[in-house]
Chains A and B, each alone.
Chain A
Amino acid sequence: MRAFSFERPDSVAAAANAVATRPGAKFIAGGTNLLDLMKLEVEKPTHLVDVNRLPLASVSETADGGLRIGALVRNSDLAADPRVRKDYGVLSRALLSGASGQLRNKATTAGNLLQRTRCYYFYDTTKPCNKRDPGSGCSALEGFNRIHAIVGASQDCIATHPSDMAVAMRALDAKVETILPDGKAEVIPIAELHRLPGSTPQIETILQPGQIITAVTLPPPLKGVQIYRKVRDRASYAFAMVSVAAVVDAVGGKIRSARIALGGIAPKPWRVPTAEHALVGATPGEPAFREAGRALVAGARGWGDNDFKIGLAQRTVAAVLSAATRAA
Chain B
Amino acid sequence: MRAPSGPDIAVGDVLLSVENVSLSFGGVKAVSDVSFDIRKGEIRAIIGPNGAGKTSMLNVINGFYHPQQGRITFKGQARGHMRPHDAAYGGIARTFQNVALFRGMTVLDNIMTGRTLRMHRGLLWQLLRHGPALAEEVEHRHRVEEIIDFLKIQDIRRVPVGRLPYGLQKRVELGRALAMEPELLLLDEPMAGMNIEEKEDMSRFILDVNDYYGTTIALIEHDMGVVMDLSDRVVVLDHGIKIADGTPAEVKKDQGVIDAYLGVAH
Chains A and B belong together in one complex: no
Residues of A within 8 A of B (CB): none
